[in-house]
A and B are shown apart, each in its own frame.
Chain A
Amino acid sequence: DSGVTQTPKHLITATGQRVTLRCSPRSGDLSVYWYQQSLDQGLQFLIQYYNGEERAKGNILERFSAQQFPDLHSELNLSSLELGDSALYFCASSVEQGVGTGELFFGEGSRLTVL
């Protein structure tokens, strides 16, 4: 158990819909990262938050948005869903930036299926 909790574990929805994925980082971790894992593209970095502020952006579509709340949990919002958005979405957390080896602790992922 990594200490990172993601909900829901599975989600099936239709094209055009909007979903919210939630992540609770490990206790004390200030950084949250979101990744998308699809079969043909591996693990793609979407976005990172540190203590409530956006710190880095990767290949995140404009239809997607995220935020980190004061209690440090994070939500990834996916809207106007398309078939190609079907993937496993991972959240990871780490301790303060620049401290230690920078190990990321991953949740078990939220599997999104868009029909």
Chain B
Amino acid sequence: GEDVEQSLFLSVREGDSSVINCTYTDSSSTYLYWYKQEPGAGLQLLTYIFSNMDMKQDQRLTVLLNKKDKHLSLRIADTQTGDSAIYFCAEGDLSGTYKYIFGTGTRLKVLA
């Protein structure tokens, strides 16, 4: 069935790089997304990658996609305390079911 898995927690020191990993199962995904949820707020799109791409860089964010292994990662360079949040990986099928499946979320804690 459809499933998106992430580790639950990650703790890093300010200034270090953070890498959040995700595995998904649906090979028909059109886009893969990273959403950020700050305390008391809804989710906001952080970045996305089209399923035929391997990598996407956007300022401090680097997304790597390994389609063969169905593995997605988000690297945050020079992590700041403001990056502390829950990060959700999601897959979307925009050509068929239009369903979006989210992972359990990874809680990132940045230590000063």
* Given A90-B43, A101-B48, A106-B43, CB of A35 within 8 Å of CB of B102: yes
B11 at the interface (CB under 8 A from A): no
B94 lies within 8 A of A98 (CB): yes
Please state if B99 and A106 are interface contacts (CB–CB under 8 Å).
no
* Contact with B98, one of A55, A90, A101 (Cβ below 8 angstroms): A55
Given that A106-B42, A106-B43 are contacting pairs, would A45 and B31 also be in contact in the complex, using a CB cutoff of 8 Å?
Answer: no
Q: Which one, B31, B42, B99, B102, contacts A48 given CB within 8 A?
A: B99
- Quick one: CB contact mask for A6-37 with B, threshold 8 Å, 1 for yes? 00000000000000000000000001010100
Complex alpha-carbon distance, A102 and B50, angstroms: 11
Range class of the A interface residue count: 20 to 34
B9 at the interface (CB under 8 A from A): no
Cβ-defined contact, B98 with A50, below 8 A: yes
- Kindly state the interface size class of chain B when it binds its partner: 20 to 34
- A109 CA / B31 CA spacing, docked (Å): 24
**Is the beta-carbon distance between A43 and B42 smaller than 8 angstroms?**
no
Residue in B closest to A31 when the chains form the complex, CB atoms: B98
Distance in angstroms from A31 CB to nearest chain B CB is 7
Interface string of A32-65 (1 = CB under 8 A from B): 0101000001110100101000011010000000
Contact B102 A43 (CB under 8 A): yes
Bound together, the chains give a CA A106 to CA B88 distance in angstroms of 13
**With an 8 A cutoff between CB atoms, is A103 at the interface?**
yes
Give 20 pairs: A residue, B residue, CB < 8 Å, sorted on A: A4-B42, A42-B103, A43-B43, A43-B88, A43-B103, A45-B101, A56-B99, A58-B99, A90-B42, A90-B43, A98-B94, A102-B30, A102-B31, A102-B94, A102-B100, A103-B33, A103-B48, A104-B100, A107-B42, A108-B42
